[in-house]
Structure 1
Amino acid sequence: MSKNILITGTSRGIGKALSEGFLEKHRVFGCSRSESDIKHNNYKHFYLDVCDEAKVVDMVRSIKREFGSIDVLINNAGVASMNHLLTTSLGSAKKLINLNFLSTFLFTREVGKVMSRQSHGKIVNFSSIAAPLNLPGEAIYAATKAAIENFTKTSAKELSKFNINVNAVGISPTMTNLIKAVPKNKINELLQKQIVQNFCEFDDIKNVVEFLIDNQSKMITGQVIYLGGV
């Protein structure tokens, strides 16, 4: 059954791959601070800053007004960073908190309003295996992902009465632009701590997301699934 899916951060990387993967069966609404080169009749792009409250509200209301419902929200937008705590600037910390956590909060709040009125919905947030592994150099980044995990579990309880499921996927290192600036030895160190010591592929992410947004996963909520295992 076709769904209306909103995915944040769709101009490249995981967000773009998920959008392209879902377009054959579903309608996808994407957004980012840059234009998208996805060309498909079932795709609509919104150019915005995912931390701009007014624009997020406008985007969600526009989708609801034109298409009637939002069945799935995938909070993908975010940024990765590895830096020693003592050399992390306040500006860098704020950027990580805003892009990784506050954008997830904003979209969950606004889309949650739509889903509560239609009495159904699936929300998938993206965390990272960096959260449980506590690797040196990832204090702020891992903290934002830990916040997302706690937010996922609590919002699942708050939204359950509206028939809304909220889950999170803890992604392991994936070959995207986000990790190009991370030293190779740090990536290898991370991989060695996983149970499955391989890079994550786009299909790995898509497969678990498809499971979480499927109607048959109605009993799965408030969970964090770590790809690769920790």
Structure 2
Amino acid sequence: MSEHDRVIVITGSRKGIGRHLAETFARRGWHTYGCSRQPSDLDDEHYTHACLDVADEPAVTQLFRTVRARHGRLDALVNNAGIASMNLAMTTPVATLERVLRTNVVGTFLFSREAVKLMRRQRHGRIVNFSTIAVPLKLEGESAYVASKAAVEAMTSVLAKEYAAYGVTVNTIGPPPIDTDLVRGIPPQNLAERVLDRLAFPRFGELAEITHAVDFFLSERAGMMTGQTLYYGGV
């Protein structure tokens, strides 16, 4: 199948990793659907943007109805949308925890659920979720964020078993800090002491490196790899 016939949905595509992936796949000719709470200025004939909250069930189902009506298929889903909360558990309001869980866990669940309904039609599909190296590092001050991403990793393992019957693989990428809006608010000294210095390769990751992993998980070469979490940096 030509790349110009392939369809991909990428969440959190207005900026950061999601923006880079949306630009990459649209440039390759994939029918690329992205979403975020705010409008995107990404201008490409192969890109369509939806303004929605990834935990808004009616909005999510409507997005997939649109994809089905236009293409009748879905080849790949990248659950990139995520928010973090950097605060000690003792001073974290429940409202903050609920907000993180809704975006990171409920959003991933809803998009994966709707994606497989389309993918099973062609008995083939790829789902790539996003976690973080904060999970294996058990970073202090990020209990809400780490809990949400640990849930994504566990969900990945279960969905991989449920979706295998439809020819759909489900894997997770755990990137290191990337120079995106999500990490720019962290003081450089704190970032080095708490994260980078704990890695075998103590540096920021690059967007191209993340793309390589996504490409692999979407490829036919990864057809028997499912339920896995790939961490960067040597945690």
The aligned counterpart of 2:7 is 4
**1:72 and 2:76 aligned:** yes
**1:154 and 2:154 aligned:** no
TM-score (norm 1): 0.97
User: Where in structure 2 are the equivalents of 1:82-101 lying within 5 Å?
Assistant: 82-101=86-105
**1:167 and 2:163 aligned:** no
Give 1:227 deviation, angstroms.
1.3
SS at match of 1:144: helix
The aligned counterpart of 1:221 is 226
TM-score (norm 2): 0.95
CA distance in 2, matches of 1:75, 1:83: 24
SS at match of 1:186: helix
SS at match of 2:40: coil
**1:33-73: CA deviation from partner (whole Å, max 9, x where unpaired):** 11111111110111111110001001001111111111000
CA distance in 1, matches of 2:188, 2:102: 26
Q: 1:109 aligns with which of 101, 109, 113?
A: 113
The aligned counterpart of 1:194 is 199
CA distance in 2, matches of 1:24, 1:182: 32
| Structure 1 segments (4+ residues) deviating >6 Å | none
Residues 70-79 or 208-217, more deviating: 208-217
Give 1:24 deviation, angstroms.
2.2
SS at match of 1:209: helix
The aligned counterpart of 2:212 is 207
Give 1:217 deviation, angstroms.
1.3
User: Where in structure 2 are the equivalents of 1:27-38 lying within 5 Å?
Assistant: 27-38=31-42
SS at match of 1:169: strand
Q: Tell me how many residue pairs correspond in the alignment.
A: 230
What CA RMSD, in Å, does the superposition of the two structures yield over aligned residues? 1.0
CA contact (8 A) 2:36 2:50 kept: yes
CA distance in 2, matches of 1:66, 1:85: 45
**1:19 and 2:6 aligned:** no
Give 1:119 deviation, angstroms.
0.8
Matching residue's letter, 1:204: E
**1:140-190: CA deviation from partner (whole Å, max 9, x where unpaired):** 110101000010011001100100000000011011111122233331120
The aligned counterpart of 1:143 is 147
CA distance in 2, matches of 1:132, 1:216: 27
The aligned counterpart of 1:61 is 65
Give 1:131 deviation, angstroms.
0.6
- % identical equivalent positions: 41
CA distance in 2, matches of 1:71, 1:214: 11
The aligned counterpart of 1:52 is 56
CA distance in 2, matches of 1:67, 1:32: 21
SS at match of 2:174: strand
SS at match of 1:108: helix
Residues 110-119 or 158-167, more deviating: 110-119
CA distance in 2, matches of 1:41, 1:76: 22
Structure 2 gaps of 5+ residues are none
Structure 1 gaps of 5+ residues are none
